[in-house]
């Protein structure tokens, strides 16, 4: 009788611990995948925004040249645009690195250059994600 109770309790504990372990492992895997995907999408959106900002900069400089602004003014405006882009890149990379502090062993990048390397090395995954969700637009 006592042997049966011990067997049932140990079987229950084994099943409970196994279920907990697999649930925890699956949860961690989902968390890591979501973290990586969100970093990729965030970087992609920022890079696209910087690309459009660069187009706006060029359009502004062309308009200034057409309007006859002197070279010193054009150079000052160009430097201001470049400083804003550099500040935005640095501050954004720092904010994303700070967001990764919850999982320092799973950190993907440290600064803007390594973030661009991370984005480049995962471009296929990003393209697949965008293609998949672009096709599901109406659903």
Mean pLDDT of residues grouped by 10 in the chain (139 residues)?
84 87 84 86 92 92 90 91 91 85 76 89 87 70
Look at residue 2 and tell me if it is in a domain. no
| DSSP secondary structure code for residue 137 in this structure | T
Domain that holds residue 49: 36-135
Look at residue 88 and tell me if it is in a domain. yes
Look at residue 10 and tell me if it is in a domain. no
Q: What is the DSSP string of 36-66?
A: HHHHHHHHHHHHHHHHHHHHHHHHHHHHHHH
Q: Structure tokens of 133? A: 């969700």
CA distance 119 to 109: 10
Residues 73 and 64 sit within 8 Å (Cβ to Cβ):
yes
Look at residue 27 and tell me if it is in a domain. no
- What does the pLDDT read at residue 110? 84
| DSSP secondary structure code for residue 111 in this structure | S
- What does the pLDDT read at residue 121? 92
Look at residue 43 and tell me if it is in a domain. yes
- What does the pLDDT read at residue 7? 84
Instruction: Report CA Rg, the chain.
Output: 26
Look at residue 106 and tell me if it is in a domain. yes
Look at residue 11 and tell me if it is in a domain. no
- What does the pLDDT read at residue 101? 76
Look at residue 115 and tell me if it is in a domain. yes
pTM as predicted:
0.74
Question: In total, how many domains does the chain have?
Answer: 1
- What does the pLDDT read at residue 138? 53
């Amino acid at each position: 009788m006592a042997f049966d109770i011990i067997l049932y309790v140990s079987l229950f504990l084994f099943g409970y611990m196994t279920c907990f372990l697999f649930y925890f492992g699956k949860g961690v895997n989902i968390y890591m995948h979501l973290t990586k995907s969100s970093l990729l999408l965030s970087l992609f959106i920022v890079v696209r925004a910087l690309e459009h900002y660069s187009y706006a900069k060029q359009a502004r400089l062309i308009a200034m040249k057409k309007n006859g602004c002197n070279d010193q003014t054009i150079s000052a405006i160009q430097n201001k645009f470049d400083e804003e882009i550099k500040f935005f890149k640095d501050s954004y990379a720092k904010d994303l690195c700070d967001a990764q502090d919850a999982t320092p062993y799973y950190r993907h990048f440290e600064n803007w250059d390594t973030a661009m390397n991370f984005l480049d090395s995962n471009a296929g995954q990003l393209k697949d994600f965008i293609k998949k969700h672009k096709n599901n637009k109406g659903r």
